[in-house]
Amino acid sequence: MYNKSNKAKIAVLASGRGSNFVAIQKAIDRGEIAARIAVLICDKPKAKVIEAAREFGIDVSIVDSAGLSNDEFDKKLVAELKGYAIDLILLAGFMKIVGRPLLENFPGKIINIHPSLLPSFKGLNAQRQAIEYGAKISGCTVHFIDEGVDTGPIILQSSVPVLDNDTEETLSARILEEEHRIYPEGVRLFVEKRLRIDGRRVIIEESSC
């Protein structure tokens, strides 16, 4: 395990654009999180997030899921993550469901961001789901991963209004601003060992310094 002189090693798993990945790396660069992103693992060889990682000089590992069963893919991820002795895994727009091999090897160490106020609007296209449902408020959730889809214990949430003239794009943009604020904050709390899981609840402990 890491200590204060030995920064937490993070792996980010992402499939697409990578704006949350960049927000977290920028928070690290500003000295807000005592950690380093050791590797970006991406399942899409052409994803934009890969360029971003290379610009920051972060290792990139492409683990292509093509032709693999979910279990085979997960086992490849575990092998890659063990190679880096990872302390924390962040899913940032990672469009695969995390299965047993990952959960068993990294219990309580996998965090996700989801663009809705869970438990509302789980799964894909959460922002569109909120508009179509007629919700007046939506937002985003930073949560631990468990065996369900978007069901793990909630660390932080932030709300935004859903406006009458919102499109999926405008609502997504408003939520994304909040994602970029609360995801680095959640990572900081984990790295400072201030998150205690108590059943479904995540208790945020006071800072000791």
Catalytic residues: 114
Q: Residue with structure tokens 């970029």?
A: 180
Residues 106-125 that bind ligand GAR (CB under 6 A): 113-115
With the CA atoms of 42, 63, 119 and 173 taken in that order, what torsion angle do they form, in degrees rounded to the nearest 10? 20
Task: Report the C-alpha gap between 149 and 162 in whole angstroms.
Answer: 24
With the CA atoms of 14, 3, 195 and 60 taken in that order, what torsion angle do they form, in degrees rounded to the nearest 10? 0
In the complex with ligand GAR, the residue whose CB is nearer, 32 or 125, is: 125
Determine, following the binding rule CB under 6 A, whether residue 16 of this chain makes contact with ligand GAR: yes
**Smallest separation (angstroms) from ligand GAR to the CB of 47:** 8
Task: Report the C-alpha gap between 70 and 96 in whole angstroms.
Answer: 9
Determine, following the binding rule CB under 6 A, whether residue 152 of this chain makes contact with ligand GAR: no
> How many binding residues for ligand GAR (CB under 6 A)?
14
Q: 49-78 mask for ligand GAR (x: CB under 6 A)?
A: ------------------------------
For the residues of 58-105, what is the DSSP string, one character each? -EEEE---TT--HHHHHHHHHHHHHHTT-SEEEESS--S---HHHHHH
In the complex with ligand GAR, the residue whose CB is nearer, 19 or 105, is: 19
Residues 78-107 that bind ligand GAR (CB under 6 A): 92-93
Task: Report the C-alpha gap between 62 and 42 in whole angstroms.
Answer: 5
In the complex with ligand GAR, the residue whose CB is nearer, 113 or 187, is: 113
Q: 168-207 mask for ligand GAR (x: CB under 6 A)?
A: --------x--x----------------------------
Site residues (vs ligand GAR, CB under 6 A): 14, 16-20, 92-93, 113-115, 126, 176, 179
